[in-house]
Amino acid sequence: MVLVFEEIDDAGCPCLASGLGGVIVPEQLDITEVCQDPDNLNIVYVKATVQGIYDYVPEVTVSYTLNGQSKSVNVTNRFIPGWNSIGVVSFPIITNCSAVTIILAYDIGSMIPNFETIESIDFSIVFKGELGANNFSTLIKNTNVFVSTDPSATVTYGKGVTPKPYKMFFDPNSNKLKIQYSNLGSNPCPCAINCVTPSEEEFGLTICTDEIQEINVDATNIFGDPTNVLVTFLDPVGNKTNFSIESMINVVPHKLSALEQSNPPRIEVALFYMSVNMTRITASKVQYQIWKYKGNPDSAEIWKDWSNENWSTFYDQDIETASEYGYAVRFKGEFGELSEFSDWTVKQAI
């Protein structure tokens, strides 16, 4: 038997020792930072350093817990090329036989239900490596001597839960609508979303006292109408939630209408979701309470107690001939704030 050896010319392959003597750049992947895009919180970017002799294509999986259940989703196809002009534009990532630092951005929030409520996310990244055409001949690649270990890394991103308001009240002395939120945990309020902790002077923020932040909002100058406010809540690590509030403070509801009907005898009472100034009130944001009196307003009592059922017509069959009945309504907002009472609508039963 005659054995024939063919010498492979590896001169000019910067990652190899002479004569296929070995790999001089070991493979390694390190994740150094995970953050959210301040302009689009669904986008999460990862800063990583990879080294090796191969060209790499990343595969990214995120794991999280939702409603007590562990979930996992592959987000590789949610890659955003050239994010913010600093992210990777395309794959593979060519190392040129050295260590390179890269930024990868993925649209993760749109893949995770109730993303704002997720406290932490585990990122698992695997870099699939292949010998690149730039530095290795086809002959060397066909030897199958060099196979990537597909370096990987896992890191936990503690993104935090976006806080929501828990109380709202009206201060008649200052004519201010006051909103409070809490449960911010042990972290201080000021924190930028780009993974740095700014000073109060830099961002004009106020340190929370006893984990409660108070926001003052000018109530509407038009007495009787709802006060519409858009508030942005910011949690300790920079998550934001836009919250639309339609306050019932100082609202005077449009009076009810009443129409007497027979067969059977009844009074039909109609509710309008609007203020006395004909400004619309969003039915889904309020509850209503209807009061009724017989004879005179001094006998008034609750006829229909607080309800958020989107009904507009009510039937009162508890009536007596030749008696006078009055009906009024008031609304309650999302935070328990009460409107004024509407004017009485009076109807004489025939």
Q: How far is CA 49 from the centre of its chain?
A: 29
Q: What value does the mean pLDDT of the chain take?
A: 79
Check if the beta carbon of residue 345 is closer than 8 Å to that of residue 257. Answer: yes
- Pair 228, 308 in one domain: no
Tokens of 189: 């309020």
Domain that holds residue 278: 257-348
Domain boundary among 157, 186, 211: 157
Q: Among 157, 185, 203, where does a domain finish?
A: 157
Q: Does residue 90 share a domain with residue 37?
A: yes
Q: Is residue 184 located within the same domain as residue 286?
A: no
In a domain, 271, yes or no: yes
Neighbours of 52 (CB within 10 A): 24
Instruction: Give domain status of residue 275, yes or no.
Output: yes
**Does pLDDT of 152 surpass 90?**
yes
Mean pLDDT of 299-325: 91
Considering the domain architecture, whether residues 290 and 192 belong to the same structural domain is answered as: no
Supply the DSSP symbol for 79.
B
Q: How many domains does the chain have?
A: 3
CATH number at residue 35: 2.60.40
**Whether 340 and 266 share a structural domain:** yes
Distance CA 242, CA 124 (A): 30
Are both 134 and 200 inside the same structural domain? no
- Among 126-140, 256-270, 304-318, the range scoring the smallest mean pLDDT is 126-140
Answer yes or no: do 191 and 126 share one domain. no
194 within some domain = yes
pLDDT over 70 at 241, yes or no:
no
* Residues 60 and 136 occupy one common structural domain: yes
Whether residue 190 is contained in a domain is answered as yes
Angle at 256 between CA 251 and CA 258, to 5 degrees: 175
Range of lowest pLDDT (113-122, 240-249, 299-308): 240-249
CATH number of the CATH domain containing 330: 2.60.40.10
Query: Are 227 and 117 in the same domain?
Result: no
Could you tell me which residues are beta bridge partners of residue 171? 176
Q: Do 251 and 331 form a contact (C-beta atoms < 8 A)?
A: yes
Instruction: Report, as an integer, the average pLDDT of 235-259.
Output: 80
Final residue of a structural domain among 157, 174, 198? 157
Tell which wins on pLDDT, 99 or 211. Answer: 99
- The residue with greater pLDDT, 342 or 245, is 342
182-191, 235-244, 308-317, 318-327: least confident range: 182-191
75 has pLDDT over 70: yes
Query: What pLDDT sits at residue 14?
Result: 57
In a domain? residue 265: yes
Answer yes or no: is 318 within a domain. Answer: yes
Same domain, 143 and 36: yes
pLDDT classification of 197: cutoffs 50, 70, 90: low
Determine the average pLDDT of the residues in 34-55: 87
Q: For residue 127, tell me if it sits in a domain.
A: yes
pTM summary value: 0.53
Distance of CA 335 to the CA centre of its chain: 20
Contact 103, 88 (CB under 8 A): yes
337 found inside a domain: yes
- Calpha distance 125→29 (Å, rounded): 9
Identify whether residues 264 and 331 lie together within a single domain: yes
